[in-house]
Amino acid sequence: MIVHLELAPGAVIREDALQATLQLGRTPIREALQRLVRDQFVTVMPRRGMYVSSIDVGDLALLYETRAILEPYAMRLACARGTDDAWNDMASLLEGATADATPAALLEIDRGCRELVWRAADNRFLTDHLDMLYAHSDRLWHLYLGDVADLHGMIAEHRAILHALRADDADRAAELIEAHMHHFDQQIRDAVRRRLDSPLAG
């Protein structure tokens, strides 16, 4: 809900409302909120309550430089440890990226490809961090690019990554995922710049 902006930046978090919406008890809600605080999606303000954390565009560079180290490393691990079954699953997932696929469907395919790679990398400490960083990036995507971006280029990049993984070419797979992230980073920066340059800005 936070990533998809159903809970907007600055929104008040109410446990009772979440329990009713998600049909969950108090304990799992509190455990989830503790993790969201730790992962910086939720902010606690003493004596005032919990709020959805703001989206700071200044964090974009930090996100990129962190993922630029971890994602290629995960790709190298996946190349060494992945199986044909994993890459067949990735190929099947990419087959769903038809010309008429919705942006939401294409984002799910992007997420699914990442998760298959992370699973193949088989390092839960690494992939737990990547999962959190991906969610922060996904939130930026929904804020700035959700209605305007063409995601088919992103899917083409995943097809090239799959080809490298099948060929056991770890260097190429790592190079491609870094280029993929650089493309995303640049799209976000361009979208932010356009918004700031808009005569309606401010």
**Per-residue pLDDT tens for 139-197?**
888 887 665 567 888 899 999 999 999 999 999 999 999 999 888 888 888 877 777 67
- Which pLDDT belongs to residue 13? 94
Sign of torsion over alpha carbons 158, 162, 167, 172:
positive
- Which pLDDT belongs to residue 185? 84
For the structural domain made of 57-197, what CATH number should be given?
1.20.120.530
**Residue 164 carries which side chain, given as an amino acid letter?**
A
What pTM was computed for the model?
A: 0.84
Distances (CA, A) of 32 to 26, 39, 41, 195: 10, 10, 11, 33
Tens-place pLDDT, residues 23-76? 999 999 999 999 999 999 999 998 889 999 988 777 888 888 999 999 999 999
CA dist., res. 11 & res. 198, Å (int): 26
- Which pLDDT belongs to residue 200? 55
- Lookup: tokens for 23: 């049909």
- Which pLDDT belongs to residue 102? 86
**Domains of the chain: which residue ranges?**
12-52, 57-197
- Which pLDDT belongs to residue 69? 94
**DSSP β-bridge partners for residue 45:** 49
